[in-house]
Structure 1
Amino acid sequence: MPSPTNACASVTWIILLLATFLGAAPASADPLVLHATQAQEARSLQAFQPGGLAAFYMTGQLADAPHLIWKVTLTESATYRVTVLAKCQAPGVRPRLHLGAAETTVAADSLPRSWDRLEIGVVALPQGANVLKLDLLPPERPVGRVDLQALELTKLDHARTLETRAHDARADTSWMRHAGFGVMLHWTRESAPAQGPTKPYAQAVEDLDVDTLAEKLRSTGAGFVVFTTAHGYQDFPAPLAALDKALPGRTSRRDLIADLAASLQRKGLRLMLYHNPGTVQDPAWVEASGLNSTDRTRYFNLWQAMISEAGERYGDKLAGWWFDDGATRLYPQNAPWAALHRAARSGHSARLIGFNSWELPSVTDWQDFDCGEGLREPRGREGRLQPMGDGVYRSSSRKGQQATACVTLENGWLHRDSGQMPSPPTWTEPSLKDYLTRSRQSGLVPIINLKVTQEGLLGPASLHLLRRAAQK
C-alpha cells in the first residue's frame, strides 16, 4: 500500500465512465450505473468477495488515497443528477466531482456512516468524450475505511418523473404486516432427503406432499410462505415454456407451485416465490441465458419472459416475488427496473415485489418491500423504525418500502445432509420470542427460513420453537 501523503491532502478517486454502460440503454430513462467493481483501474482498493457473478463493492483505507478509473462517450449533451452509493467510517468526508480542468461540484453533505445514497450535485455533460474526477475531502489525518458501491447518473429531466412513477406503482403491503411473519423454504434440487437416496429434481417435484407440508407451515403461526424456485441452479417446479426454450430439462410436468398455492390458501396462508438470477454453480444456465455476456439484453429479456409467464399463470394466487441478488447481480448490469417490475406484476397488479439489497443501499424504487437479508434488529436498518409504527421506512434509500427481515432459524438456508433431519435451531425461545414481539411493535415483518428435506420434512425442534415463540 502506498504511504499516505500529508494529513491535509485529499483522497482522490478518478472516475472515467465506460462507454459500454451508456450504450447498453441509450433510450432508457433509468439511471446509468457506474459500478465500482467494473472500473478500469482500482488503486489501493480491493473488491469485497471477488469472483463469481456477484459484484458487491470496492473497499480501501482513506489514508491510502485510493482511486477508480473509467471512461465514457456520450451520444448527446444532458444535465445529470449525480449520486454516490457509499459508506465511510470517518465523519466529515465529502465527495467532490471535477468536470474537466475548471468545473467542480462539492457535495453539501458528508458521506454516510452506514450504507446509503448521497447526492453530489447536478452536472451538465457534453456530447462526446467526458472525464470525471471524484475527490474525497476528508478532515485532517483521515483514518478509517471507505466503501464505494457505485456512482449513478440520472438525467435531470427524468429524475422526478422516475421517482413519481415508481412510488405511484407501489402496492399495499398491509396484508404482510397483518400476517405477522412469514416462513421461507429453500427447497431445491440440492435439498437432501432424510431417508433413502436422493431423487432427481423432477421426481422430487412429482412426489412432494404439499398438503402435509402446508399443514406443518400453518401450525407455526406464519401468515405467508416464500418458496424457492431457482437458487444455485435455474430450475422451476412447474411447466415454464420460456425456461424450456432457453434450457430444456429444468422444469417439471407437475405444477407444484399451483398445488402448493392451493393447499396454502385452504390453510389461510399466502404464497410468495423466491428467485435467484443465476450463479457460476450452474454454467449451463449462465451460457444459455447470456448472464455472462457483456450485453445483458438477452438475459433481461429472458428474465422478463419467465417471470411474466409465471405471473400470468398464477394470478392473485401468487402474492409476491422475493428476488435475490438485486444489488449484486442485477444492479451492476444496469437492470431495466421499470420493465422488470412490469413483468413481475403480470397477472396481478397488487403483487408485492422486493429486490434483495442485503445490507447495501436500496438499488431501485421499483419495489414494495426491503428484503432485509440477515437483519436481526427489530427496529429495521439502522434502527429507523418507530415503536408502534407501520413498519414503512421514512428515510434513507429505502424510504417508502415495507421493512422485512429475512433470517435463518437453523445454521444455513438449505438442508444438505442426506440421511438426517434438519439441524436444530440456533435461536433460543426467549430470543426468538423477543425478536417477533419487538418486530410486531415496530411493524417489521420477519421472514424466517426453515430447512426442509427433499421429502418436505421440517425439523421437529424448529417447528416446536417457532410455534411457542410465535404465541402472543
Structure 2
Amino acid sequence: MGNPNTDWLKEAKYGISHHFLSNYINRVASGPEEQWKDTESWDDVIDGFDAAGYARQVAESGAGFVLLTLGQNSGYHLSPNAAYDRIAGLQPGERCSRRDLPMDIADALEPYGIRLMLYLPVNPPHSAHQREGDYAVTKAFGYTPGMDGAPSQETQEKWQAVIREWSDRYGAKLAGWWFDGLFPHVVKGTYDDPSNRYNYGTLAEAARSGNANRIITFNPGVELTNASYTPYEDYSAGETNAPGHVPSNGRWVDAAERIQYFIFTFLGSFDPYWAGWGNKGVNFDTKELTGWVKEVTDKEGSVCLDTKVNRFGQIDPQQLEQLKAIKATIRG
C-alpha cells in the first residue's frame, strides 16, 4: 500500500517555490538594480544568479525542497534545450539560457539535503514571440497563440520531446515535476483519450525519463486540491490562493493510497490580477500561517509556499523571516 516514491515529500514537510519568470522580474523588482534592463540579454540575467548564496538562504528557511519555474508562457527558460531551439528556430541563448541554472541550483542544494523540483506548463508557451507580437515560437509548436488551447498530436509530440530532453539531463538530480494547465477544456479529447498516440501516458513517460522514481502531478486549476485526476500522478497539485485547507484522510487523497497530499499557496502580497504568486512582501499573518503549516504537516501532508526570488538569487527578506518562523515551529 502507499507510494514510496513520495515518502521524501511527506518527510520534507514544507518547501518553497519561485515564479522566476522573464515577465515577472521587473514587475516584482524591489528597486532598479533588480530589473532586467534593455541593454541586457536573457543570459546576462541568468548568469547573475548566485546559486551558492541562494542555497544558503533556502537552508535558512528550513525548506525541504524547491519548486522552480523552468519557464512559462513567454517562452523564456532557465536552461538550455536543443529540441526547443530546433523546433522554434532559435539560437542558443535567445530564449533558453546558455547557463543551466536548475543544474547549478540542484548541485548547490544537494549538500543541504534539499531536493529540486521543476514547474512547467503541460503545453508549449502560448505567448512566445521572436519579434514582438508575432507568436512565432508558439506557432512553431503548432499551438494556440495567446491562449491555453487544446493541443494537437503534433504539438504534444514536439513539447514532450522538449520535456524529455530536460528529464534525461537532470536524471536523479530532479525529484519531481509540477505540470500546470491541465484544464478541462485543454485535456478533453487530447490528453484524456488513450487512443491518441500522445496522451497522459506519454507525457508521464517523458516526465520520468532519466529517473523512474521522479514524482509528477498535473494541475487542473485553482482550488481543485483534494483529488487525483489520472492514473499517472504521485501527489495532488494543490494550488490554492489561501491557506486553510488540511488533509481530511491523513497523508493520502485517494482510496488506493497512491496520491500524497500536497497543498500549494503563496506568501507574497495579494493583488487582483496576479494574486500573490511571485510577489514581494507578505500577505498572511505569520502566526496563523505557521499554525496552518503545522496542522497540515502533523497530518502527514506537504506544503509548498511560493516566495519571490530576485535575479541575484535573493529571497524576499520579509518572506524569509516568515519561513524562519515556520522553521522554528516545524523543525524545532
Q: Is the 8 A contact 2:75 2:127 kept in 1?
A: no
Q: Is the 8 A contact 1:229 1:273 kept in 2?
A: yes
Separation (CA, whole Å) in 2 of partners of 1:295 and 1:216:
39
Q: So what's the TM-score if we normalise by structure 1?
A: 0.58
Out of 185, 195, 203, the position equivalent to 2:32 is 195
Out of 283, 289, 312, the position equivalent to 1:426 is 283
Shift, 1:231, TM fit? 1.6
Shift, 1:460, TM fit? 1.1
Q: So what's the TM-score if we normalise by structure 2?
A: 0.80
Separation (CA, whole Å) in 2 of partners of 1:294 and 1:176:
31
Out of 83, 90, 103, the position equivalent to 1:258 is 103
SS across alignment from 1:452: coil
Shift, 1:456, TM fit? 2.3
SS across alignment from 1:250: coil
Separation (CA, whole Å) in 2 of partners of 1:212 and 1:273:
20
Out of 78, 95, 102, the position equivalent to 1:237 is 78
**Residue 194 of structure 2: aligned partner:** none
Structure 2 residue 45 is matched with structure 1 residue 204: yes
1:462–1:272 distance in 2 versus 1, CA, 3 Å: same
Deviates more, 1:199-208 or 1:287-296: 287-296
Q: What are the superposed Cα offsets for residues 206-229 of structure 1, whole Å, 9 maximum, x if unpaired?
A: 121111111111111010000101
**Residue 139 of structure 1: aligned partner:** none
The count of aligned residue pairs is: 289
**Residue 179 of structure 1: aligned partner:** 12
Q: Is the 8 A contact 1:173 1:368 kept in 2?
A: yes
- Equivalent residues in 2 for 1:309-324, closer than 5 Å: 309-324=165-180
SS across alignment from 1:376: coil
In the alignment, structure 1 segments of 5+ residues that lack a partner are: 1-166, 416-421
**Residue 306 of structure 1: aligned partner:** 162
**Residue 152 of structure 1: aligned partner:** none
Higher Rg:
1
Structure 2 residue 221 is matched with structure 1 residue 363: no
Deviates more, 1:186-195 or 1:347-356: 186-195
**Residue 392 of structure 1: aligned partner:** 252
Separation (CA, whole Å) in 2 of partners of 1:224 and 1:262:
13
SS across alignment from 2:263: strand
1:295–1:373 distance in 2 versus 1, CA, 3 Å: closer
Q: What are the superposed Cα offsets for residues 212-259 of structure 1, whole Å, 9 maximum, x if unpaired?
A: 111111111010000101123223222211101112122121111111
In the alignment, structure 2 segments of 5+ residues that lack a partner are: 129-134, 192-198, 270-275
Separation (CA, whole Å) in 1 of partners of 2:173 and 2:150:
36
Q: Is the 8 A contact 1:378 1:438 kept in 2?
A: no
Shift, 1:347, TM fit? 0.4
Q: Is the 8 A contact 2:168 2:209 kept in 1?
A: yes
Deviates more, 1:190-199 or 1:224-233: 190-199
Q: Is the 8 A contact 1:189 1:200 kept in 2?
A: no
Shift, 1:290, TM fit? 1.3
Q: Is the 8 A contact 2:243 2:289 kept in 1?
A: no
**Residue 115 of structure 2: aligned partner:** 270
Separation (CA, whole Å) in 1 of partners of 2:165 and 2:124:
18
- Equivalent residues in 2 for 1:9-408, closer than 5 Å: 172-190=5-23, 191-192=25-26, 193=29, 194-196=31-33, 197-198=35-36, 199-247=40-88, 248=90, 249-276=94-121, 277-278=123-124, 280-282=126-128, 283-292=135-144, 296-328=152-184, 330-335=186-191, 336-358=199-221, 359-360=223-224, 362-374=228-240, 376-380=243-247, 384-385=248-249, 389=250, 391-395=251-255, 400-408=258-266
Separation (CA, whole Å) in 2 of partners of 1:465 and 1:295:
40
Shift, 1:357, TM fit? 1.9
Identity of matched residues, % = 28
Shift, 1:399, TM fit? 6.3
Q: Is the 8 A contact 1:312 1:346 kept in 2?
A: yes
Q: Which amino acid aligns with 1:311?
A: S
Q: What are the superposed Cα offsets for residues 120-145 of structure 1, whole Å, 9 maximum, x if unpaired?
A: xxxxxxxxxxxxxxxxxxxxxxxxxx
**Residue 46 of structure 1: aligned partner:** none
SS across alignment from 2:277: coil
Q: Is the 8 A contact 1:369 1:404 kept in 2?
A: yes
Q: Is the 8 A contact 2:81 2:96 kept in 1?
A: yes
Q: Which amino acid aligns with 1:180?
A: K
Q: What are the superposed Cα offsets for residues 277-300 of structure 1, whole Å, 9 maximum, x if unpaired?
A: 345433333211112287611111
Q: Is the 8 A contact 1:225 1:271 kept in 2?
A: yes
Q: Is the 8 A contact 2:115 2:175 kept in 1?
A: yes
Q: Which amino acid aligns with 2:268?
A: E
**Residue 162 of structure 1: aligned partner:** none
**Residue 314 of structure 2: aligned partner:** 457
Q: Which amino acid aligns with 1:254?
A: R
Separation (CA, whole Å) in 2 of partners of 1:330 and 1:172:
28
- Report 1 or 2 for greater relative contact order, CA contacts < 8 Å, sequence distance ≥ 6: 2
Q: CA RMSD in A?
A: 2.3
**Residue 437 of structure 1: aligned partner:** 294
Q: Which amino acid aligns with 1:344?
A: A
Separation (CA, whole Å) in 2 of partners of 1:460 and 1:376:
21
1:373–1:294 distance in 2 versus 1, CA, 3 Å: closer
